[in-house]
Structure 1
Amino acid sequence: MESDSPHRVEIPPNFEDAPIDDLVQLIADMLERLISHNDRIPLSPESLTRFHSRSAPSISVLDYLKRIVRFTNVEKSVLLITLFNIDQICARVPLFTLSSLTCHRFLITSITVASKGLCDAFCPNALYARVGGIPVTELNVLERAFLAMIEWRLMCTREILQEYYVNLVRTHSAGRYFLTGADSPSSSSDSEIDLDSGASSPTETPSQPSAVLLEHGTMHEFVTRPTIEQNMAFAALQQLQAQQEGMPHRP
């Protein structure tokens, strides 16, 4: 497909330069695919968290993100670090899944926490809560639960956020976006992750490269983290095992 096709959108190679509307589209596309997958997993009582709603909100993930961006002037790094936070929590709390019942509360909480940790200027919790459609007392509780789940590790490197950005472009469900300077959709960096298998490119080891978490300029230990794509594959395995366990035994 030609790069000047009206069906494809060229965006800058660095996430800092990308239009925020395109970044929202990319993130929402990934989250909606993840939610669609995880909603097929039976919900068990032990997997319930503070982030679970009684029913799925009527607003889509895309419209919810657009609302947050419109009223809170959220920064691009804060949006991308939400994906990193999903990976952090899924690694530390294996029972947690991002679904239609948890995604909206998770998003507004992650953005609230990350804005405070990364930005010089941010909104009060009362505004984040009003934009997110939850009481401020509930957001306060969610914020404490969220910080405990990520063990107060609020930072990650710019390189990690850039990896998320590149992979969002590469794995977009409609293949609509491409980076400036990319000759074709296959001209991706060696660090990208295969969506179907969860494995890295042939030049990398099968596991996702470790992330260096930073706090006040200090380098902490390397933490191996599963990617969102790997979480999807693991969720599929859990679903298959649950189905097999529910089948009658045959001698």
Structure 2
Amino acid sequence: MEPPARVELPAAFEDVEIDILAQLIADMMERLMAHNDQIPLSPESLTRFHSRSAPGISILDYLRRIVKFTNVERACLLITLHYIDQICARTPPFTLSSLTCHRFVIASIAVSSKALCDAFCTNSLYAKVGGIPVGELNLLEREFLRMIEWHLTCTREILQDYYVNLVRTHSAGRYIIVGTTSGSSASSDSEMDYESGPSRAGSPTPVRPGDASIILIDAATLAPESPRPPTVEQNMAFAAFQQAGRQAGSASPA
């Protein structure tokens, strides 16, 4: 059986079809979620971005919905990966998982559009598209800004690096950027990063977009938060998660 034909993409991320960019980002996020979902949940790791259960819509369909109804710019999609790297470096307990990804993405799009674009939608529209109450999006936006410490922009070169590495590490290896060569080891390197077994401590180590290829930020230049005990809100939320899990288990047929 012949391998699928390679699809050539433009050299600059500004010129790529936005649906293909959404596919590339979703592919990266799906692998992040698959890995990070293996990490046991703890009270101190709970954030406002956690949902009680994983949404029923895939992250690709979610991104396509956002693109369709908000006319989001390509830079705003790509910078979401930079935000993940920044926040994970500053707040190590946070991971992008199936419980956090969708809410993180809609908050990221709302914030980045305001920071990078001359025209953007209202929070009412972002909330409607994202499937959450507008009051909840307002809270997510404030929490997002706190976690990112208002570092909302980056250079065009950083976004270009993310684009190149999304193409290079795509799980199916079907894309190639015009004017570059792509070694066959790129896909296998990515798979090794995301499908590695448990760490020596007994649980998987969280991964971020930059881990798939090169680290695009210098974590040493960031000031991570000092470890703090879980708050009362986190303990209550964690107890609710556990209770929901027990109820789901008891409702399952024997």
TM-score of the superposed pair, with normalisation by structure 1: 0.75
CA 50–79 in structure 1, closer or farther in 2 if over 3 Å, else same: same
Give the RMSD, CA atoms, in angstroms: 2.5
Q: Please point out which of 169, 174, 177 is paired with 2:175.
A: 177
Q: Please point out which of 2, 25, 28 is paired with 1:27.
A: 25
Q: Please point out which of 158, 167, 177 is paired with 1:160.
A: 158
Q: Please point out which of 90, 93, 99 is paired with 2:91.
A: 93
Identity %: 70
Match of 1:229 in 2: none
Q: Please point out which of 202, 210, 215 is paired with 1:208.
A: 215
Query: Following superposition, which runs of at least 4 residues in structure 1 exceed 6 angstroms of deviation?
Result: none
Does the CA-based 8 Å contact 2:69-2:129 persist in structure 1? yes
Q: Does 1:113 align with 2:125?
A: no
Q: Deviations over 1:205-237 (max 9, x none)?
A: x983546xxxxxxxxxx9369xxxxxxxxxxxx
Alignment length, in residue pairs? 201
Q: Distance in 2 between matches of 1:47 and 1:184?
A: 37
Q: Does 1:132 align with 2:139?
A: no
Q: Distance in 1 between matches of 2:193 and 2:51?
A: 31
Q: Distance in 1 between matches of 2:159 and 2:217?
A: 13
- Between structures 1 and 2, the one with greater strand share: 1
CA 72–209 in structure 1, closer or farther in 2 if over 3 Å, else same: closer
- AA in 1 matched with 2:109: I
Q: Please point out which of 71, 85, 96 is paired with 2:69.
A: 71
Q: Does the residue aligned with 1:181 lie in a helix, a strand or coil?
A: coil
Q: Deviations over 1:229-249 (max 9, x none)?
A: xxxxxxxxxxxxxxxxxxxxx
Does the CA-based 8 Å contact 2:86-2:217 persist in structure 1? no
Q: Does 1:43 align with 2:38?
A: no
Q: Could you list the runs of 5+ residues in structure 2 that have no partner in the other structure?
A: 195-212, 224-254
Does the CA-based 8 Å contact 2:85-2:217 persist in structure 1? no
Task: Give the number of the structure with larger relative contact order, counting CA–CA contacts within 8 Å between residues 6 or more apart.
Answer: 2
Does the CA-based 8 Å contact 1:178-1:185 persist in structure 2? no
Q: Distance in 2 between matches of 1:37 and 1:197?
A: 9
Does the CA-based 8 Å contact 1:209-1:224 persist in structure 2? no
Q: Distance in 2 between matches of 1:186 and 1:78?
A: 30
